[in-house]
Structure 1
């Protein structure tokens, strides 16, 4: 038997590579999965939501920011490492900061605006550097 906490199928999620003044926003997860890892803001797509609507909602909920979505920067699949773990398909988008200052919700416990080549030494989620590089290419030289 499955429960809402342990679905029997992959969950669709979105994340945002948010750029502001050539720096990207990284947030540190305060809960599992990925507790203690820096990643991009984002979360699950709710039934009936478009990917863009879900992305705008998740960014607002987690960080308080408003962003402009430029395009799909990549995707990754996270499969359960242990029984009962989450299985996610994460669609990551290149975005530009439009307004607001970072105000984290209780799912996150830290944030950093960093140059994309300054990620060394941080505990980051798998595939993060590739998604950020792809997003930076989509956004161009601004």
Structure 2
């Protein structure tokens, strides 16, 4: 266990009014659905890290629209890990989402309901914030 939080990034990518979710394949959040993302490398800008992780994790390219929020990720039963995740809102550019070592499944979900999937803490809030930045008002009301 590290004695300080690690910085991560994620991107809420929207395409045709839907948001891209990935099911975590490893770690303590395995099986939960979240936004594609991962750790920031030393010397890497946050938005660049978010786009790199999106490409590495699910083979999708997007453009960053804006900052969508921050989420702290810690287990409730004690601090085995502590991540500060900076989330961005983005628009899909290219690539069909693929599974891989970190994403056991991928889906384009309804941003209002997240298709009723079991999701990570604060995901509904972050997706709502991102949707307000990317989608037309008629799709977020």
TM-score scaled by length of structure 2 = 0.91
In the TM superposition, what are the counterparts of 1:1-142 in structure 2 within 5 Å? 6-82=1-77, 85-119=80-114, 121-141=116-136
Aligned-residue offset at 1:80 = 4.0
Measured in 2, the distance between the counterparts of 1:53 and 1:8 equals 26
Measured in 2, the distance between the counterparts of 1:46 and 1:121 equals 33
Instruction: Determine if contact 1:33/1:86 at 8 Å carries over to the other structure.
Output: no
Aligned residues: 137
Q: How much is the aligned-residue C-alpha RMSD, in angstroms? A: 1.5
Instruction: Determine if contact 2:112/2:128 at 8 Å carries over to the other structure.
Output: no
Measured in 2, the distance between the counterparts of 1:140 and 1:81 equals 33
Measured in 2, the distance between the counterparts of 1:119 and 1:78 equals 19
Instruction: Determine if contact 1:28/1:110 at 8 Å carries over to the other structure.
Output: yes
TM-score scaled by length of structure 1 = 0.90
Query: Gaps spanning 5+ residues in structure 1: where?
Result: 1-5
Query: Gaps spanning 5+ residues in structure 2: where?
Result: none
Aligned-residue offset at 1:119 = 2.1
Aligned-residue offset at 1:140 = 3.6
Q: Tell me the SS of whatever aligns to 1:95.
A: strand
Instruction: Determine if contact 1:23/1:114 at 8 Å carries over to the other structure.
Output: yes
Which runs of at least 4 in structure 1 moved beyond 4 Å after TM superposition? none
